[in-house]
Chain A
Amino acid sequence: MYDKEKLAQINQGLTEYEKNWEKSKEKLAAKGKRAERKESFVTGSGFPVKQLYTPLDIADIDYTTEIGFPGQYPFTRGVQPNMYRGRFWTMRQYAGFSTAEESNARYKYLLEQGQTGLSVAFDLPTQIGYDSDHPMSEGEVGKVGVAIDSLADMEILFNGIPLDKVSTSMTINAPASVLLAFYIAVAEKQGVSPDKLTGTIQNDILKEYAARGTYIFPPTPSMRLITDIFEYCSQNVPGWNTISISGYHIREAGSTASQEVAFTLADGIAYVDAAIKAGLDVDTFAGRLSFFFNAHNDLLEEVAKFRAARRIWAKVMKERFGAKKERSMMLRFHTQTGGSTLTAQQPDNNIVRVAIQTLAAVMGGTQSLHTNSKDEALALPTEDSVRIALRTQQIVAYESGVAETVDPLAGSYYVEALTKRIEDEAWAYIKKIDELGGAVKAIEQGYIQKEIQDAAYEYQKEVESGKRVVVGMNKFQIKEAPPEGLLKVDPTVGDLQAKKIADMKAKRDGNAVQTALDELREAAKGDTNLMPVILKAAKVYCTEGEICGVLREVFGEYTPIQVL
């Protein structure tokens, strides 16, 4: 990035600086003093950090081909030309608990507080395709999200919320087709046609196998369900993000920053491969792929991570898959602040952590953001703590100034060097995964899980040895009274949902249900697109468990490999 003469001058200055610093260190050592407060300096992910970065560290980076301009290939600086000068990122708090009625009230509260998009958390039975009255659902109904058993619940969930005005993200993976079908059906009842809908389904099964655990079916039929959605939405729901390829949970499971980027993009490559193999043209679906990342505590490393991820994906799409449309090469992403960084000790400190993570996401160019609430290491967040989390985003947006220019940390010697370093490390992982036969094979062999677990255990050992300081947890502890005012989910919600299912089943057209489920079974055995039959089943009030039950019958269930 600099001319040779200038670099030589800088090099000379650096040599001088280093010589002087060595002398100062020797002097201190002679007095028995240490010049530095620890042996080695590393990023949150363990990259060695130098004392000083200069133009020499980024001399090999070509500005025009590697960094470039926002809204242009390789999108290192962002996917829009003016980023947040046009509009802020979407402030989208992940929420949902108990019944559809209670969650509907929380959504209305969040929208009143200035939130600009919805993000639905489903309970575990819904995520794993069991109705609330299934034996496996015992104790889990309404706990980590809202319980949705059929279209009837979905109608209540979005009651009074105009689906043509609000965009909705749904964290749903194995049964993503079913919940998307419920959503399309609710919209139609509101008089909103599918082509007016905007939102996202997570629909990312590979990270479920590797890190999150809410899988149902084996990889092959799962990949079919996903590519069926790509195809169906490209024709019928063009404003829908058909997948949110997620590094968030990979990081939460303990990965480093570059593993998060590498494993996520390797999953992305597997989805694109599968869709192309299913006969889709890359430019018809690639523009609707979206991503989801974590924002951790190491501010500058996280900013570099987001920038590196954009650059790698652009290259993958253009060079590996031959995408022609610029939109296909853009890595658009949602961010959530890192849940595992929150401490149960001195929970107010979490507000500060979340603020730093928010800065990382925004300076990294996120398209939408969920900020965690301070009490999430203890329970589901209360309304008050969710409001503070949302206000944190609003303060960064309106008061901090970081949203006034595009990619404000570009050109920092450190940040550019770190961006390059994360990129290089991620490419090495992607190459390794290619050698194993791609992300699906790498997961089936337990490779990705093992890498994540090793990093997680390393992290834990560092915390316990005190090498890694977590304020309030392993340093600066105080005696604390037990926290008060935590949110409790009504323990009778399981019974309540079971009763709602029974009432609904008594009212629906039993013949229509049977016909729809039979058609689904036949279609699942063949190779036609499953979305239309699932939508038909949804509309006649087949339950989620019935639909997934038929698919379980035909597809079987995934048995994970145990890696320890």
Chain B
Amino acid sequence: MADKIRVLVAKPGLDGHDRGAKVIARAFRDAGFEVIYTGLRQTPEQIVAAAIQEDVDVVAMSLLSGAHGTLMPKVVKLLKEKGADDKLVIGGGVIPDDDIPALKEAGVAEVFTPGTPTSVPIEFIKTHVKK
């Protein structure tokens, strides 16, 4: 595996809290990943288009607004429709434990909640990325 793992860090929806997204993007970069950050206010369609265009291995979404139940599954669904479901999709943010099973059911591989050290998603990506 000579190529670097490519990760799209994405902010779906209208949520403006990007401290977590930016911290995790830097941590991914320091871990040797190639990181692309979408910026704020991305629709699921825009995220999927960016993921395909940038040919990333991982789509990492950060959401603190409570819209995770709608937007994260939509990204997975659109990736599948575009034939890009080989990408590993993960999520993070203020996401109640109760909501996590449904997200996983929908195809989000893992969900990381507040207080998780950045090393945890980094290891998760290294183990699970399909490359």
With beta carbons under 8 angstroms apart, the residue of A138, A143, A212, A252 that contacts B66 is: A143
Once A213-B17, A214-B16 are accepted as A-B contacts, the answer to whether A457 and B115 lie under 8 Å apart by CB is no
With beta carbons under 8 angstroms apart, the residue of A128, A253, A379, A470 that contacts B19 is: A253
CA distance A378 to B18 in the complex (A): 17
With beta carbons under 8 angstroms apart, the residue of A344, A474, A491 that contacts B69 is: A491
Which one of A78-86, A192-200, A227-235, A482-490 is at the B interface? A482-490
Closest chain A residue, CB of each to CB of B44: A138
Q: Is A35 an interface residue (CB 8 A)?
A: no
* Inter-chain contact B119/A564, CB cutoff 8 Å: no
Interface size on B, residues (CB 8 A): 35
Neighbouring A residues of B83 by C-beta, 8 Å: none
Neighbouring A residues of B113 by C-beta, 8 Å: 344
* Inter-chain contact B115/A486, CB cutoff 8 Å: no
CB distance from A563 to the nearest CB of B (A): 8
Q: Is B40 an interface residue (CB 8 A)?
A: yes
Q: Specify which of A127, A144, A208, A491 lies most central, judged by the most chain B CB atoms within 10 Å of its CB.
A: A144
With beta carbons under 8 angstroms apart, the residue of B17, B29, B67, B94 that contacts A377 is: B94
CA distance A464 to B39 in the complex (A): 25
* Inter-chain contact A124/B14, CB cutoff 8 Å: yes
What is the 8 Å Cβ interface bit string for chain A, positions 460-495, against chain B (1 contact, 0 not)? 100110000010011000000011001011010000
What is the 8 Å Cβ interface bit string for chain B, positions 97-131, against chain A (1 contact, 0 not)? 11000000000000001110111000000000000
Once A138-B70, A377-B94 are accepted as A-B contacts, the answer to whether A457 and B114 lie under 8 Å apart by CB is no
With beta carbons under 8 angstroms apart, the residue of B23, B29, B43, B66 that contacts A460 is: B23
Neighbouring A residues of B39 by C-beta, 8 Å: 560, 562
Neighbouring A residues of B15 by C-beta, 8 Å: 124, 140, 144, 213
Closest chain B residue, CB of each to CB of A378: B96
* Inter-chain contact A486/B13, CB cutoff 8 Å: no
Neighbouring B residues of A125 by C-beta, 8 Å: 14
Interface size on A, residues (CB 8 A): 46
Please provide the chain B residues from 41 to 88 with a CB less than 8 Å away from any CB of chain A in the complex.
41, 43, 65-67, 69-71
Q: Is B37 an interface residue (CB 8 A)?
A: yes
With beta carbons under 8 angstroms apart, the residue of B23, B66, B115 that contacts A144 is: B66
Interface of chain A: mostly helix, strand, loop or mixed: loop
* Inter-chain contact B97/A464, CB cutoff 8 Å: no
Q: Is A385 an interface residue (CB 8 A)?
A: no
CB distance from A206 to the nearest CB of B (A): 14
Neighbouring B residues of A457 by C-beta, 8 Å: 22-23, 26-27
Neighbouring A residues of B69 by C-beta, 8 Å: 139, 491
Interface of chain B: mostly helix, strand, loop or mixed: loop
Closest chain B residue, CB of each to CB of A212: B16
CA distance A254 to B43 in the complex (A): 26
CA distance A3 to B114 in the complex (A): 53
Closest chain A residue, CB of each to CB of B38: A562
* Inter-chain contact A564/B26, CB cutoff 8 Å: yes
Q: Is B35 an interface residue (CB 8 A)?
A: yes
Q: Is A113 an interface residue (CB 8 A)?
A: no
* Inter-chain contact A464/B117, CB cutoff 8 Å: yes
With beta carbons under 8 angstroms apart, the residue of A140, A213, A214 that contacts B67 is: A140
Once A124-B15, A340-B19 are accepted as A-B contacts, the answer to whether A486 and B96 lie under 8 Å apart by CB is yes
* Inter-chain contact A379/B16, CB cutoff 8 Å: no
* Inter-chain contact B98/A139, CB cutoff 8 Å: no
* Inter-chain contact A489/B66, CB cutoff 8 Å: yes
Closest chain A residue, CB of each to CB of B72: A139
Q: Is A136 an interface residue (CB 8 A)?
A: yes
Neighbouring A residues of B18 by C-beta, 8 Å: 213, 253
* Inter-chain contact B97/A345, CB cutoff 8 Å: no
CB distance from B121 to the nearest CB of A (A): 12
* Inter-chain contact B19/A564, CB cutoff 8 Å: no
CB distance from B64 to the nearest CB of A (A): 8
Q: Is B25 an interface residue (CB 8 A)?
A: yes
Please provide the chain A residues from 377 to 419 with a CB less than 8 Å away from any CB of chain B in the complex.
377-380
CA distance A213 to B15 in the complex (A): 7
* Inter-chain contact A564/B35, CB cutoff 8 Å: yes
CB distance from B104 to the nearest CB of A (A): 15
CB distance from B122 to the nearest CB of A (A): 11
A to B CB contacts below 8 Å, 26 in the list: A128-B41, A135-B43, A138-B67, A138-B70, A144-B15, A213-B16, A213-B40, A214-B16, A252-B19, A253-B19, A254-B19, A254-B23, A378-B96, A453-B22, A456-B19, A457-B22, A464-B118, A482-B97, A483-B96, A486-B96, A486-B98, A488-B96, A489-B66, A491-B69, A562-B37, A564-B35
Query: Which A residues are closer than 8 A to B by beta carbons?
Result: 124-125, 127-128, 130, 135-140, 143-144, 208, 212-214, 252-254, 340, 343-345, 377-380, 453, 456-457, 460, 463-464, 470, 473-474, 482-483, 486, 488-489, 491, 560, 562, 564
Beyond A124-B13, A124-B16, 16 additional pairs, beta carbon < 8 A:
A124-B14, A125-B14, A139-B13, A143-B65, A213-B40, A343-B114, A456-B23, A460-B118, A464-B118, A483-B97, A486-B96, A489-B66, A562-B39, A564-B22, A564-B25, A564-B35
Closest CB pairs A-B (n = 5):
A213-B16, A139-B70, A139-B67, A143-B66, A124-B14
